[in-house]
Amino acid sequence: MSITTLQRTLAAALLAAALAPAAAADQHPSVKRAFSVPPSADLSYSIKARQRGLGLAGDSTTAWRAGDGKYSVASETRSALFGKILENKSDGAIDDYGLAPSQYYEKRYRKEPGTATFKRDSKTIVFGGSEQSYPLKGGEQDRNSAPWQLVAVARGAPDKFTPGSEWAFFVAGRRDAEAWVFKVLNQESVHTGEGEVSAVHLVKAPPPNDQGQQVEVWLAPSLDWFPVKLRFSDNDGDYVEQTLEKITKK
């Protein structure tokens, strides 16, 4: 290798190293937004799904609680054929960014449970099934809290949830974390157990060349912006779709 080529290689490496933190920061947004936490409620959903080519039906319940500077959200999904197929929980505080998770727990059918812990003292996110870790900058969410942070932000700035607007969060799962960007598509009518409601339809698509899950959520302004429909789709065609049947405020 010539001296000139070596110099160019070193320069490229130094440039890449300098740009890496900026790229990582772009993927790990820390943004303070106006928010309004929704009131405590129990929500019941009907479920239809396809898993490994098998059609399933069932129900899901979500217990959302907020008050005294704290929140918790616990969800269970059951199918008539297999019983409980998914359980996840998130709890933590409410700070200047909105929901500030402390612990996330997820248990899928026939799989070991996974956890993410938000260590506020050391400002890191760590995982029960992985050695991966991420810094805590403020505003980070987990997979269960993220839709509720989206609800809180929508309630805080409803006029900004217009078609084409995007809302980015850094979201922890069972073993790692990634940026979720929700994009507002349009306003749609959704048939629910509470009647026909108008809802804002948002989608979180996986990044290009990523095999991640697509998440869609429909938020109803007339029902405190609660999620009236959610859909989780995998690249292999499997999906879980839940539609609101009942809201009981606490």
Please write the tens of the pLDDT for every residue from 194-225.
999 999 999 997 666 666 778 999 999 999 99
Please write the tens of the pLDDT for every residue from 131-170.
899 999 999 999 999 999 999 999 999 999 999 999 999 9
Domains of the chain: 28-249 (2.40.360)
- Residues 170 and 178: their CA atoms lie apart, in Å, by 6
Tell whether the model's pLDDT for residue 16 goes beyond 90: no
Task: Output the pTM of the full model.
Answer: 0.86
- Residues 30 and 22: their CA atoms lie apart, in Å, by 13
Q: Predicted confidence band at 236 (pLDDT cuts at 50, 70, 90)?
A: confident
Please give the pLDDT value at position 54: 82
**C-alpha atoms less than 13 angstroms from C-alpha of 160 in its C-beta half-sphere:** 13
Residues 109, 3 contacting (CB under 8 angstroms): no
DSSP β-bridge partners for residue 126: 117, 133
Please write the tens of the pLDDT for every residue from 85-100.
889 999 999 999 999 9
Burial class (CB in 10 A: 0-12, 13-18, 19+), 235: exposed
